[in-house]
Structure 1
Amino acid sequence: MSTISPSALRRLPLRQLVCLVFLLSVAAWVAGNWPVILAGLGELRGADRGWLLAAVLMTAVCWVPICLLRQGTVVERLPVGRLLASQIAAGSANHLLPAGLGAHMVTLRFLRRRGIPAARACAALALYSLVQPVGRYGLLLALLAARPGAAPLGGPLPAEYGVVALLLLAGGLALVALVLWSVRPLRGFVLDLLRSALTDARALHTRPARVLALWGGAFAFPALQGCVLVAVARAVGMPVPAVGVVLAYLAASVVAGIVPTPGGIGSIEAALLVALVGAGSPVSVATAAVLGFRIVTVWLPLLPGALVLAALVRRKVL
């Protein structure tokens, strides 16, 4: 059996090696999760095909607010087609690295190739990371204020949860402050980044088009993702109102964001299952809905996103 010699590997262009490694990583991830994929397909075999198709179409539409949000973080006008392709690729990369690092790496490379300086590109990523959860939390609070009786888990959480969350937040901030105080080069880098980010944020908020793109995308993306879950819930016959399903998604995404797993894999499933059962769904139906939601939003776009990423790398867009 023939093998690839080290000298042959050295002759391969670096970009082709990057594409090969990424595609192999995606294939390994799919192989490792194949039993879960098969189980989800089995649970969804009797689901309503019309609602599932609607969920797939809405998942594709979710790329629009993501592109708007990315465009809203920079003053320069980004080419629409390449921006869309980069975010499709970033979505696939996001499921291989934790805390959104995969998507940030792809977007950082895209912005740098568009001639945006490194400091301003990093500031754009920081602004994106700040605005996206603000949109999610804001939408969650607005829905809770409008429909307090539809809260998942049957009502507000005990006060002890809030105390623990505040203690964890305070401990995390103290740890960050200690690291920055101890490591002077890192402190200087972070201060320069914050100055650049504040300057860009002020400039962006003087442009109504950028403000609309930034904040419109931040609120539209979680709303559309919630609608995708509603469509999947309807497909499996879940007896929970649409508002309750959206609230369950928002609450679960907030909780899952605390655990920085690649693409939220594992954490989002557990949080969604608990939230949907708490909202009044039977466990079996909630399990089918969670599996269907993750198949539609994660597993189906994974391979196309990897192929788009490989194509962008070959064409030196990234």
Structure 2
Amino acid sequence: MTLMPLEGLPRPLPTAAPAPAAPVRSPAAARAVRLAISLLPLLLIGGWAVVDRHSVSDGAARLASADPWWLLVAAFFTCTGWVAAACVRQGAIPERLPPGLLLASQVAAGTANHVLPASIGAHAVTLRFLQSQGIPLARGTASLALYSLVKPVAKTIVLLFFLVAFPGMLHLGALMPDSWTLLLIAGGVAAALATTTVLVAVVRPLRRPLTGFLRTALTDARVLHTRPSRYLPLWIGAAATPLLQGSVIATVGFALGLPLSWAQVVFALLIASTAVGAVPAPGGIGPVDAAMVFTMSAFGAPVGLATATIIGYRVLTIWVPLLPGALVLSALVQRKVL
């Protein structure tokens, strides 16, 4: 019996090695992760309350002896601040956002803003909300940049208005910085601009994403400013924000007997937040508070009463809405809005 040579037979094709199976996350694990993220704001608030318990108890005790009707007005201005923030966020994006969810996201963003410095928490919550509404990442980031640019510009316009409208009532002699302070501020701004320019010129990987971001931001800003339904809430909301914050401080001060007018308190906030607002602190706590006490005392308020006003303001605007804001944040995470 003659065997056929094996060389003429077709050889079987080599089989590819099976690809590693992609990790599959079970629904139970996904729910556990979402629950942990939902509980994280509550845990952070609990830890912060333990660390800052003396300020909370002192502020609560002072508010307990204040005029409740003025405190009710202050609470109204606090809630109106969320509406103003939602208007600015909507005005900075071309697409129409659901009003209810947008307002809820700003309540949650306020809680996140008091945990992380330099508005990082508020921007992160807002960016995640925009992405959940189908907004591309580039456009959402451009809207945050426009939001961050419009707010200080609008605050500067309001500040100039106060300087023109109340020239005699607002005594600025003790508040004007000396020449060395102005020189230091100018040097810091120039150094920041020079560092940014050098980084963009030297580090080539930064050029393309930065160029694309600027192109998107400029295009969206041009489109938004052709639509009154966008630029009106954008600028009006941004200008109203410091007025509402100052109104909260003023009404808390009135509840405690602060001997200053509404215009002086609002102007004190504008000066204090402009002078030390660049210091990265959670929600502006610390530097702005000290500057506010100094500015109000320069206007003639007793230091102890000015301090009590700022403590009461912080309790009313941070600690009172912190738990409801954390619950809203957790609910939005549970509903996959964030």
TM-score range with shorter-chain normalisation? over 0.9
- Of 200, 207, 213, which residue of structure 1 is paired with 2:233? 213
1:180 Cα offset (Å): 2.6
- Aligned equivalents of 2:290, 2:334: Cα separation in 1: 38
Does 1:257 pair with 2:277? yes
Q: Which amino acid aligns with 1:22?
A: P
- Aligned equivalents of 1:10, 1:77: Cα separation in 2: 34
- Aligned equivalents of 2:220, 2:137: Cα separation in 1: 13
Aligned to 2:298: 278
- Aligned equivalents of 1:192, 1:151: Cα separation in 2: 46
Bigger mean CA deviation after superposition, 208-217 or 249-258? 249-258
Aligned to 1:32: 51
Aligned to 1:144: 163
Structure 2 SS opposite 1:77 = coil
Aligned to 1:43: 62
Aligned to 2:187: 167
2:175–2:298 CA contact under 8 A, matched in 1: no
2:175–2:295 CA contact under 8 A, matched in 1: no
1:130 Cα offset (Å): 0.3
Aligned to 1:124: 143
Bigger mean CA deviation after superposition, 170-179 or 245-254? 170-179
| Cα 1:217/1:80, change in 2 over 3 Å | same
- Of 239, 259, 265, which residue of structure 2 is paired with 1:239? 259
What RMSD over aligned residues (CA atoms) do the two structures have, in Å? 1.6
- Of 92, 99, 104, which residue of structure 2 is paired with 1:80? 99
What runs of 5+ residues in structure 1 fail to find an aligned partner?
A: 1-8
Does 1:267 pair with 2:287? yes
Cα deviation 1:47-74 (Å, max 9, x = unaligned): 2111111101110111111111000011
Cα deviation 1:245-291 (Å, max 9, x = unaligned): 11001111112311011111212211111111111100111011110
1:161 Cα offset (Å): 2.2
Does 1:107 pair with 2:126? yes
Structure 2 SS opposite 1:99 = coil
- Aligned equivalents of 1:309, 1:46: Cα separation in 2: 32
- Aligned equivalents of 1:151, 1:177: Cα separation in 2: 39
Aligned to 2:246: 226
Structure 2 SS opposite 1:185 = helix
Aligned to 2:9: none
Q: What percent identity do the matched residue pairs reach?
A: 47
Give the structure-1-normalised TM-score: 0.93
1:129 Cα offset (Å): 0.4
Cα deviation 1:169-220 (Å, max 9, x = unaligned): 1111122222333332223222211110000000001101111111011111
Q: Which amino acid aligns with 2:48?
A: W
Cα deviation 1:126-169 (Å, max 9, x = unaligned): 00000011111111111012112314564533233222111111
Structure 1 SS opposite 2:119 = helix
Q: Which amino acid aligns with 1:234?
A: F
Q: Which amino acid aligns with 1:224?
A: L
- How many residue pairs end up in the alignment? 310
Structure with more helix by fraction? 1
Does 1:16 pair with 2:41? no
- Aligned equivalents of 1:113, 1:185: Cα separation in 2: 29
Structure 2 SS opposite 1:223 = helix
1:238–1:286 CA contact under 8 A, matched in 2: yes
Structure 2 SS opposite 1:44 = helix
